[in-house]
Chains A and B, each alone.
Chain A
Amino acid sequence: MLIKNILIRQWRLFLIAGLLACSGLSFASVESYQFKSPQMEAEYNQLIGELRCLVCQNQNLSGSNADLAKDLRRQTHELLMEGNSPDQIADYMVARYGDFVLYRPPLQNNTLLLWLGPFVLLLVVIVLVFVKMRKKQVLVAPDQAAMKKAKQLLSEPQEK
């Protein structure tokens, strides 16, 4: 029982140890990697901006100095230097860590609602507004016809 309590607390310790290393309490780590071209460097910067540090409290690889983040940055650099494309590197990471490692959620069945939802909502609401406007205009018209008729009747000389 006691050991179980210790373990439960240790589990948090294990996480805390990892988390403490993250940029919550310190600063982004700086490496001085060399690249084959400015384009590769730009690809590197984009990749480490979009890959997630798994042991951190919501940070990308660029902003974290956790050990795992350093290792994954090194891995990213090596893969780029070996000639892999950013997409291939993203696939590499996903194969090992799952979709969780990407800050750009892939477009797949379970993210259709995510990517399309806001636009569909916007479209639907705008269409509804226009439809409502037309309904109100349709209501107005007969009134106007009736008004005209009424005016006409009123302007006729009264009989009696």
Chain B
Amino acid sequence: MRFILPLGAFILMVGLLGFGLTLDPKKIPSPLIGKPAPEFSLNKLYAPNEMLSKKDLLGQVWVLNVWASWCVSCRAEHVFITDLASRNLVKIVGLDYKDQPEDARRWLKQFGNPYSASLMDIDGRVGIDWGVYGVPETFVIGKDGNIKYKHIGPVTKESLEEEVIPVIKALLG
């Protein structure tokens, strides 16, 4: 009877491995979903005397898009972020991650600026608070200031239409 145990254990293991083939071990979901967005207060890129903080955005649904001028896939994603901005659903705040202001301005001038405000995270500290581990990443924040959704990697047409926009619309009520 005990002779069948190894076979049984093997079958379980194979089932697990087979399922594992459908998973992506590199995508790390955020533990901040449903939790308050981190506090931040940064100078605006195009209005260096003004600051933007979390409390300025309370009461509205908004999107945080983490990008960088040195990031190749951000360029590909940009058209969809611009598309999202053009729908006038929500404000999109751009967080330029580990970049220089000059490079950011140049990039936005060249490719277009869909952001209602641009913030610089030069040393990456704000990114750490948001659990950013690569660029691009996109967050949707609800009226209560909680993070409702995180998209890892570049936003594509599918993910824009099938995930990001429905989430935003649901939060808008």
* Direct touch of chains A and B (CB < 8 A): yes
Residues in A lying within 8 Å of B, measured CB to CB:
3-4, 6-8, 10-11, 13-15, 17-18, 54-55, 67-68, 71-72, 75, 94-100
Residues of B near any A CB (own CB < 8 A): 26, 28-32, 71-73, 76-77, 79, 98, 123-125, 127-131, 133-136, 153-154, 156-158
What's the least CB distance linking B9 to chain A, in Å? 11
Given contacts A71-B124, A96-B32, A98-B28, is CB(A7)–CB(B156) below 8 Å? yes
Tell whether A96 pairs with B124 under 8 Å between CB atoms, given A4-B158, A7-B156, A14-B72.
Answer: no
Whether B76 and A10, one on each chain, are in contact in the complex, defined by CB atoms closer than 8 angstroms, is yes
Q: Which residues of B contact A10 (CB under 8 A)?
A: 72-73, 76, 154
Chain A residues with CB under 8 A of B130 = 96
**B157 to nearest A CB, angstroms?**
6
Main secondary structure of the interface of B (DSSP, over half): loop
B76-A3 in contact (CB<8A): yes
23 inter-chain pairs at a CB distance below 8 angstroms, sorted by A residue, are A3-B79, A3-B156, A3-B157, A4-B156, A4-B157, A7-B76, A8-B156, A10-B154, A11-B153, A13-B73, A14-B72, A14-B134, A14-B154, A54-B28, A54-B133, A55-B134, A67-B98, A71-B127, A94-B31, A96-B32, A96-B131, A97-B131, A98-B30
